[in-house]
A and B are shown apart, each in its own frame.
Chain A
């Protein structure tokens, strides 16, 4: 196992965390790993470089280890124990093998008692990761839940070009692998949707919070209501964030341009709600550094998003000019 890399920035792990293997994990650790797969997107490829970009972007925050105070939210953030496992051993041209690898990979992380934090890759990688998480939760007698933050519902069926396994069918694939529809939720849905997916939402009264509803009811209350609706213990809940849930003006690094969506601050405040209780597993997908190669907004934001999820947060008193 490698030592922490604060004094060795060239190592390039996430937040300069120690690099290690699954065998090095201890109960309660956060286990970072990348999933550099992006062939299921009909848009611009490049999310395979998301994990590397996120690690690069995290270097800015690494210098603040072991703790720092964030002025915007007036909170002290403490880095937790975490290990960067590197990237999962995927097979880019063989999805069925990749699916099986990811399914078992996350189970091995969970069996070590760690909390998986995966960095995509496109959103399809969530399907085997959530399925592996669900299998693990059921093995210990729980009932798994799934919450996704995404512009889309991802309830598609077979795509006429991309086939069964594509990022627009992620939630369908998750639901087909042991997640009850009532224990699934979709947050931040906006833009155009296939009409059959929207009809299913209405027919089955699925837990969907559209962007308009989030704006109307507020992010914090909406997310708390969603977590209550899926009715699972926090450690039995898998949360997936597809960056296309954001308005592209804030993070343009996605496979297709987006023209509406959550603001960066809104998504961060949603993640703060998750931070209050923790969840069983967390992923961020869809980070594609290529649409704006000269900017690191997406990489930096993804790293910050993960940090807001994993750090222990406590309020601080800010000193004002008048003392």
Chain B
């Protein structure tokens, strides 16, 4: 009997994100999604540590999702919430580059190493998908930092950096903030949509408002800080909040944004798996990342409508 590598169960590794091929920078093509992890922890003393293993946990969790597609007849599934079809690619437009090589104990090194990886990814015309690490590093893969006409949609519980050029929108802010920051966030050049806005107006409406805000941008980076989810649903994050949005809201918004903006890059960060033994936080982070890249990777197969 000749050995043939067959289908693997969801727990069998070694894991890449959604079991896409491993690759190197030189393997990237125009329009590909380039996955990489950040093995770094939060240095903010207000927050609980634990994000360093986040990227590995998200990769593991993503195999659960992809194994359902692999095992499905026709290798495709339908999302009953959105009606969207997701299928296993005939040819992968996604490579997992592994984790950023860096000294995890030296934040300045991580920042420069992350920058050193992101630049060639963008130069290759690829779309970075950064997994894991603390929210404080996510700005480094924001394509807006590299391109003048790049926009940013943040799904985050925090107000974020002041943006006088009006290129960014933030969804999901909650909790307490310094009054001065809150005043800044209310200036006309800033688009802030709170978790309360999501509850009152609905996830779809709020996502569309953010999409309208960045509609003049050539490309848009989407950054997800998993701290925006209510801790009842997902507690594996450095600073869980009690008035956050639901997983359904997050996935609804990710699906809508991904199909409405030209995607420049994605960041899914602030996952601390050891703080949620239920395995829910990394699984939700994987789902959010998959929803965001689905039109680029899982919906491109010919004949799928």
Contacts and interface: CB of A to CB of B under 8 A. Distances in A.
Q: Report whether chain A binds chain B.
A: yes
A28 interface: no
Most chain B beta-carbon neighbours within 10 Å: one of A42, A168, A248, A257:
A257
Interface string B68-81: 11111110111111
Contacts of B283: 256-257, 259
B7 A161 contact: yes
A178 interface: no
**In terms of DSSP, what is the predominant structure of the interface of chain B?**
mixed
B300 interface: no
A194 B247 contact: no
Interface stretch (A108-116, A142-150, A185-193): A185-193
B253 to A, nearest CB: 13
Interface residues of A, number: 33
A242 to B, nearest CB: 16
Interface string B46-72: 000000000000000100110111111
Given A192-B68, A256-B64, A42 B80 contact: no
B199 to A, nearest CB: 15
A138 to B, nearest CB: 31
A161 B85 contact: no
Given A194-B77, A291-B278, A259 B247 contact: yes
A252 B247 contact: no
A260 B7 CA distance: 28
A286 B85 CA distance: 27
Given A160-B70, A252-B278, A257-B279, A191 B81 contact: yes
B223 interface: no
A195 B74 contact: yes
Contacts of B77: 192-195
A190 B7 contact: no
A189 B232 CA distance: 22
Contacts of A212: 80-81
Nearest to B68: A192
A31 B69 CA distance: 39
A257 B85 CA distance: 21
A159 interface: yes
A310 to B, nearest CB: 29
Interface string B274-301: 0001111001100100000000000000
A257 B70 CA distance: 19
A44 B70 CA distance: 18
Contacts of B73: 157, 194-196
B13 to A, nearest CB: 15
A211 B77 CA distance: 17
B9 interface: yes
A189 B78 CA distance: 12
A210 interface: yes
Contacts of A210: 80
Contacts of A211: 80
Nearest to B72: A194
Given A248-B278, A260-B247, A193 B80 contact: yes
A200 to B, nearest CB: 11
A195 B247 contact: no
Contacts of B125: none
A257 B278 contact: yes
A42 B69 CA distance: 13
A247 B230 CA distance: 14
A212 B248 CA distance: 12
B213 interface: no
A281 B121 CA distance: 59
B6 interface: yes
Interface string A157-187: 1011100000010000000000000000000
Most chain A beta-carbon neighbours within 10 Å: one of B74, B251, B280, B287:
B280
A249 interface: yes
A227 B8 CA distance: 39
19 contacts: A42-B71, A43-B10, A44-B279, A156-B72, A161-B6, A168-B71, A192-B79, A193-B78, A194-B68, A194-B72, A194-B74, A211-B80, A249-B232, A252-B280, A257-B61, A259-B233, A259-B247, A291-B277, A292-B278
Given A189-B80, A192-B69, A294-B277, 8 more contacts: A160-B71, A192-B65, A194-B72, A247-B233, A256-B283, A257-B278, A257-B280, A257-B283
- Top 7 nearest A-B pairs (CB, nearest first) are A259-B247, A194-B72, A257-B283, A192-B77, A252-B278, A249-B233, A257-B280
Interface of B: 6-10, 61, 64-65, 67-74, 76-81, 85-86, 232-233, 246-248, 251, 277-280, 283-284, 287
